[in-house]
Structure 1
């Protein structure tokens, strides 16, 4: 066991902010397997779980000089992993729903030139707009529209009122509609 294994998380974070790669390695070794197991329980896909956790640790390394973690490092890592998982699930479900709607059009013999390019453009725009929502609004929106939880379930899970959950979803839909509608109009004229 190296001397780094004896350091507290706070000491490791301090060393990490000073570009200490061994501190980073110790944090990685200390939490990587736990986070992958956590991600796997939710995603049920080992490759996706590994990718999510790798992204979390990459972000920590890239932000090492600016990290300001109040509270336990483990809590921060679990929260970061959870947010990455929610974003991943949102992106996957949006892509699947859009692909299903495109399939419906194609079954009706609609001709689409540049279909793949337009599909990719819309996927990117939708994912970007969901990502740009404020964190709490994004989380509530994902739980309601993508994970299809009821407002009561969301309220219980996040310890908020169901009215707050409804208002957040309404606000999110309004923002998304404002951002996405102009693109859809342009897309329709290209067809």
Structure 2
């Protein structure tokens, strides 16, 4: 049995300040399990609880010469552990928010890029299907849908009746809908 087990906390602290590693070991053995249990109640994760307590004890060893503990050592250790846990939780929230932000950016950027790509592909399909329409039908369709001319204007320009212009647009839309229906199904999925 180590003689250090008999020492009071304030004696162990004085020895610790004099670089006594056995005093440090005794403080660790005396309080580490209690602090890990305390941390576990707050965090709910054994590994993270162990890490937090290890950080507290590492801090104590690294700052042993500057430590000024006015109350009891146990109170100091519990407060230090609680503060480390709160810092840990705050850090986890920041990391989580950052990860969510990056994830949302990547997803929205991907969706935007994906939708732009699909839009271009769909435009190319529509253009190729329009190009396959019979020549007069294609001409009437483009004047109506691209140039946005009225049926009367189309009739005057092409020397046809407005009724013929309407019929040509109707027929071209019917053909295009049939051909594009299967292409649109692919784009939806």
Q: What is the TM-score of this pair, normalised by structure 1?
A: 0.56
Which digits, 9 at most, give the CA deviation of each residue in 1:149-186, with x for residues without a partner? xxxxxxxxxxxxxxxxxxxxxxxxxxxxxxxxxxxxxx
C-alpha displacement of 1:40: 0.7
**SS at 1:70's partner residue?**
coil
Matches of 1:59 and 1:109, distance apart in 2: 43
Counterpart residue number, 1:54: 54
Matches of 2:53 and 2:108, distance apart in 1: 42
Counterpart residue number, 2:82: 82
C-alpha displacement of 1:101: 1.7
Matches of 2:104 and 2:59, distance apart in 1: 39
C-alpha displacement of 1:54: 0.5
Q: What is the TM-score of this pair, normalised by structure 2?
A: 0.57
Matches of 2:41 and 2:109, distance apart in 1: 41
C-alpha displacement of 1:39: 0.5
Gaps of 5+ in 1: 112-191
Gaps of 5+ in 2: 112-189
Counterpart residue number, 2:128: none
1:60-99 alignment to 2 at 5 Å? 60-99=60-99
Q: How many residues align?
A: 111
Matches of 1:47 and 1:14, distance apart in 2: 31
1:19 paired with 2:3, answer no
C-alpha displacement of 1:106: 1.5
Flag as ranges the 4+ runs of structure 1 deviating above 2 A. Answer: none
Which digits, 9 at most, give the CA deviation of each residue in 1:95-137, with x for residues without a partner? 11121122112122269xxxxxxxxxxxxxxxxxxxxxxxxxx
1:1-191 alignment to 2 at 5 Å? 1-109=1-109
Over alpha carbons, which structure has the higher Rg? 2
**SS at 1:109's partner residue?**
helix
CA RMSD of aligned residues (A): 1.3
Counterpart residue number, 2:158: none
**SS at 1:108's partner residue?**
helix
